[in-house]
Amino acid sequence: MSANKIDISTVCEMFEKLSNKLDKQATDKSVEPIQVDLAAIKAMTERFEQVIEEVRKPAHVEYHHRHTIDITSSKVFLSLVIMVLVILGLSYAIGEQRKTINQYNNNDLKYRYIKMHGKADEKSIYRLERQLRYGDSIKIIRSQVEQYEELLREQAERIERAKANDKEMNELQRKVENAKGK
């Protein structure tokens, strides 16, 4: 027998014994003390307490969830088709934006290259267009333009420093002349 089920046969036997003794007392009409087996009652009480404790314990039940997408429903199928179309449309838009951005980058590089050479005749533009078709050439042209721009920045800084030094020198000379004049 399992622990959850109680052995009812022993309980029934005890009640039968009690019932028989009560019947005998009713027929004898004499009062005799009844001797009850307390050990059996204590054992049954302990069993009942154990069963009650087991019943009070929460039962651990595992749940297994299964999710399915049933495309036989027209709403679900239509939603899936619309989502796929939106994703494809957005992917196309992103691709077109990348092309536009690359074209802007190439045009910027062309402008900076022409500015570096200081002239824009037909042959140089044609040669530049041909060179921009190759990835290695683009890297070389970009590095040349960046070097040129860095040199221009350094030269502009030197000129600014020279102007600041000239101002400072002129100011110091005025102070020296003022000091001599006093």
4: confidence class by pLDDT, cuts 50, 70, 90:
low
Name every residue whose Cβ is closer than 8 Å to that of residue 15 and which is 6 or more positions away in sequence: none
1: confidence class by pLDDT, cuts 50, 70, 90:
very low
Q: Which of 6-15, 21-30, 121-130 has the lowest mean pLDDT?
A: 21-30
pLDDT in tens, 74-107: 888 889 899 999 999 999 999 999 999 999 998 9
Q: Which amino acid is at 171?
A: E
Q: What is the torsional sign of CA 170, 172, 176, 182?
A: positive
pLDDT in tens, 145-167: 999 999 999 999 999 999 999 99
CA 22 – CA 32 distance, rounded (Å): 11
26 burial via Cβ count (<10 Å: 0-12, 13-18, 19+): exposed
Q: Which two tokens stand for residue 165?
A: 């030094």
Neighbouring C-alpha atoms within 13 Å toward the C-beta of 141: 25
Once rounded to an integer, what is the mean pLDDT over residues 111-137?
A: 86
The pLDDT value recorded for residue 156 is: 93
pLDDT at 29 over 70: no
pLDDT at 51 over 70: yes
- Report the percent of the chain where pLDDT is more than 70: 90
pLDDT at 7 over 80: no
Once rounded to an integer, what is the mean pLDDT over residues 108-133?
A: 87
